[in-house]
Amino acid sequence: MNKTFQYGIDRLTVGKTIDIAAGRCKAALGLQSIERIRASAAAVAAIVAENRTVYGVNTGFGILANTSISETDTRTLQYKILQSHSVGVGDPIAPEIAKIMLITKVHALAQGYSGAQLATLQRLCWFIENDVIPVVPEKGSVGASGDLAPLSHLCLPLIGLGELFVKGVRRPAAEVLKEYGLEPVQLGPKEGLALINGTQFILAHAVKAVQRFLNCLDAADIIGAMSLEALTGTKAPFDAQLHELRPFEGSQLVAQRLRLLLQDSAIMDSHIDCGRVQDPYSLRCMPQVHGASRNAWKHLKELTETELNSVTDNPIVLDAHHTISGGNFHGQPLALPLDYNCFAAAEIGNISDRRCYLLLEGKWGLPMLLMNNVGLNSGFMIPQYTTAALVTENKTLCFPASADSIPTSLGQEDHVSMGSISGRKLNQVLDNLEFILGIELMSACQAIEFRRPLKSSPVLEFAHDHVRGFVGFASEDRIFARDIEIISTMIRDFSFVNEVNAFATQSGIHLNKHFYSFIID
């Protein structure tokens, strides 16, 4: 267990967020955070006592900003905002993503600019520590004025409403609180607004996408190298000198990784003087294509970590006499890179599908459709249909949600980011990408066996053998859907990349040497 992370004080990273969500790192409110939280709540109390008009404290919301609310109704106002804004629809988001929403919401409020009560943050921390996670519908946010609908559902259990996941079972929040001997929180002035104004729905999807996409990028390099070996391609296009002439960081990293992955390969050495001049682009241009997607990933990671440590509600309470009503809740800073990363992830699937197709053509010593007795058998022809379908589905998901805006709140909120859709779409593209890479890995493992008795590099042989521990060679047709699910799960649960990385490191091969900006810390 790592040392305790202090909400509102320590810097939150993608890696730390994931570790807190997984229970690998304990997080708590530090003394400095508690002092800031109390001071901010006291500032809001003073505003109410002095009857100074501040948006969301003693006014209505959105288009109702000019409607005054009496001092006696300020608490009721905060209760009602959670009720009225809980309009989400669709399936619940994954509990892990909802838990990340809780973590990032606590971290933002604990910085002491939101007027939230200490008791409220302590209850949110209780949800996190006990893995009691609010049920949050996936649809309903336009990504400006904050992720209003999903954050309302996230915070309903604070006041005894809504639902919670407890040990995977969906239950009414009031029932769960009673079971644990807890009373609903009595929200103070501005608290409801502070809870639902923010970008934590977009942000949680970004955090998860950063983790998942990096895993896919690492897998794509390993699997692409295996396909290159099976197709007796050359490693010349990965020469460091070539990439120094066009020094994009992502391209240089992928070229380095491919050189290391192919090091000491007997298959590679067997065809040095074969006379083939150039490989198809899906083999030769892996550094440029995979590398461009890595550059996009790096940009998303950097912006996500800026947002992780930002205050994104409204208004901001600097002190009892200084509040600022602004637009820190607007999701545009993440909406754009999330959309851009949709393209980047889709392109990794696109080039992977092209390599699947190359493996089937029956060229360069491989049997057509990767099976000796085709005709009676269809071989690996139909799995490539699936990659083609998934690649096309990903293309349809690449329309940038952030290119659209629909006015809400009778025109008061006249430009919105749609970043919540951007975040959800990116994770949908990654769902498909994990299957595409799984099918390429299945095909590459089959193809490499037609190169025997020659061996690939030690790292790639380990990767091949690891897969063979779960899915065997196909000498005739079988239900490949089962194999696809098994191998894609190895991509999805990070085990394939983790096992290969561990073997490489133990062998003295450091696949990310000199490129530490492309890891999650």
Q: Which residues are catalytic?
A: 55
Q: How far apart are CA 375 and CA 477, in angstroms?
A: 11
Tracing tokens 């997984």 back to the chain, one arrives at 22
Inter-residue contact 293 to 331 (CB < 8 Å) = no
CA atoms within 13 A of residue 418's CA, in its CB half-sphere: 16
Residue type, 1: M
Share in percent of the chain as helix, strand, coil (round to 5): 60, 10, 35
Contacts of 476 (CB under 8 A, 6+ apart): 371, 373, 377
What tokens does 6 get?
Answer: 């202090």
| Helices (H), ranges, 366-479 | 381-396, 419-448, 458-468
Inter-residue contact 173 to 163 (CB < 8 Å) = yes
C-alpha distances out from residue 62 to 14, 235, 249, Å: 32, 59, 44
What does DSSP assign to residue 4? E
Q: How far apart are CA 515 and CA 51, in angstroms?
A: 56
Inter-residue contact 74 to 48 (CB < 8 Å) = yes
What does DSSP assign to residue 248? -
Q: What residues are paired with 170 via a beta bridge?
A: 165
Contacts of 225 (CB under 8 A, 6+ apart): 258, 261, 262, 460
The strands making up 132-134's β-sheet, listed across from edge to edge, are 132-134, 163-166, 169-172
Q: How far apart are CA 366 and CA 440, in angstroms?
A: 15
Q: How far apart are CA 115 and CA 378, in angstroms?
A: 65
Q: How far apart are CA 46 and CA 23, in angstroms?
A: 38
Tracing tokens 């729905």 back to the chain, one arrives at 201
Q: How far apart are CA 462 and CA 261, in angstroms?
A: 11
Q: Is the peptide bond before 315 cis (omega within 30 degrees of 0)?
A: yes
